[in-house]
């Protein structure tokens, strides 16, 4: 997805089979075998993307500290994790997906602040209800610019309760 948008892509993956698969998909970028805490990286990055992997880390504080040191001056870190303030998501996170950590917006923000990062944005997201999804399809087809304003996170929508995931954007202090 990022290569199609002309980004230079570097990935880190601890599973050798997945590394081979990812490298077959990438045209210009590459994926390294290992853990971010253990790999020596001399580059700086504009964007670090941690989507539904952060909750499985043994020491998310160390991972976040390492990522902080890999950012360019104006770079940012995007993290998506299950929203464990939602009881159904918490149960899935404990029983079905075996996460090591179960984050709320408050705990994720606190972790980021403890390692010296600024929270730019933090939202709980939920999937669109069926009717909202249908409305999105119609608006997207006939009123694209309106639809972008109404539903910029399709197929998700920000919510104050019953979110399925938390999305947070972090920057350097």
Contact 53, 13 (CB under 8 A): no
The domain containing residue 63 runs over which residues? 35-126+160-172
Residue 133 lies in a domain: no
Average pLDDT, the chain: 87
CATH number at residue 74: 3.40.50.150
146 inside domain = no
Helix, coil or strand: residue 111: helix
pLDDT tens for each residue of 83-122: 998 788 888 888 887 788 899 999 999 999 999 999 999 9
pLDDT tens by residue, 110-168 = 999 999 999 999 999 887 777 777 776 777 777 777 767 776 777 777 888 778 999 99
56 part of a folded domain: yes
Number of domains in the chain: 1
pLDDT band, very low/low/confident/very high, at 72 (cuts 50, 70, 90) = very high
Residue 28 lies in a domain: no
The 3-state DSSP class for residue 169 equals strand
Residue 69 lies in a domain: yes
């Amino acid at each position: 997805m990022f290569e199609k948008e002309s980004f230079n892509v570097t990935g880190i993956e601890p599973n050798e089979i997945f590394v081979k698969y990812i490298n077959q998909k990438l045209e210009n970028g590459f994926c390294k075998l290992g853990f971010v805490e253990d790999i020596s990286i001399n580059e700086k990055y504009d964007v670090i993307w941690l989507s539904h992997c952060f909750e499985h880390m043994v020491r998310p504080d160390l991972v976040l500290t390492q990522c902080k040191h890999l950012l360019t001056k104006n770079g940012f870190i995007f993290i998506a994790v299950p929203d464990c303030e939602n009881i159904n998501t918490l149960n899935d996170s404990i029983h079905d997906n075996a996460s090591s950590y179960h984050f709320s917006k408050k705990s994720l923000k606190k972790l980021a602040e403890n390692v010296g990062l600024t929270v730019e944005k933090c939202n709980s997201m939920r999937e669109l209800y069926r009717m909202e999804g249908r409305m999105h399809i119609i608006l997207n087809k006939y009123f694209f610019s309106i639809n972008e304003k109404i539903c910029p996170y399709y197929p998700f929508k920000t919510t104050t309760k019953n979110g399925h995931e938390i999305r947070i954007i972090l920057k350097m202090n």
